[in-house]
Amino acid sequence: MAEARTKARRESLFGERFALFAEALLTGVWIAVACLGVITYPAAFAAGARHLRRRARHEAGGVREFVADFRAALRAGWAVGLAGWAAAAAVWVDVQAARAGLPGGPLVGAVGLFALIGLAVALLRATALWAPGRTWRALLADAGRRTVLDPAGSFLIIAGLAVVALSAAFVAPLAVPVLGAVAAAAVAVEERYRHR
């Protein structure tokens, strides 16, 4: 009898986790659509992460709540998205300097790439904790500290970003749902950090 109860529990736990994974993939599609505005990616990830947090707590929520969260996050999140593109442009200039053979170019290019990766991780960590009423400045400052203080969690997010890049390199449409898995990874990393 106890053996049957344990087996049923394992199946339901597996089913629950698979449902959350499927929800993450669907959320990736929502994030991709919301990112079409180019500077809207922070708000899209924030809305996706909030949706996944609700689903993990077994709270109701769907595309309407996602859209409402996206609109709320976009109010100040567009400026964060614009700053992110400015940072990416600065790194592109650094890489071009490294390729041109300027003295110190390879070092400057490498530092720029590492800084961009660190900024991306901090941004994802900030979006994982976004909620209406929280300011992006405070979220990013706290996320920057956690990025440095929790290198294992930061590495997990970097691995998630690498999976998106590799998915896009092999089968471009596969990168769309995987965006939700990256948002889920950021949420999981922040939960792990909170319980340490």
**pLDDT at res. 15:** 74
Candidates 61, 58, 44; CA nearest to 128 is: 44
Least confident interval from 4-13, 33-42, 71-80, 161-170: 4-13
Vertex 193: Cα angle to 192 and 196 (nearest 5): 90
Can you tell me the distance from the alpha carbon of 119 to that of 91, in angstroms, rounded to the nearest whole number? 12
Q: Between the CA atoms of 63, 20, 172 and 30, what dihedral angle is there, to the nearest 10 degrees?
A: 10
**pLDDT at res. 11:** 56
Averaged confidence pLDDT in the chain: 88
**What one-character-per-residue DSSP string does 131-172 give?**
-TT--HHHHHHHHHHHHHH-HHHHHHHHHHHHHHHHHHHH-G
Mean pLDDT of 104-111: 82
Report the predicted TM-score, pTM, of the whole model to 2 decimal places.
0.86
Q: Which amino acid is at 150?
A: D
Mean pLDDT of 119-136: 95
- The percentage of the chain sitting over the pLDDT mark of 90, rounded to a whole number, equals 58
Q: How confident is the model at residue 8 (pLDDT cuts 50, 70, 90)?
A: very low
Q: What is the pLDDT of residues 40-79, one digit of tens each?
A: 999 999 999 999 999 988 888 889 999 999 999 999 999 9
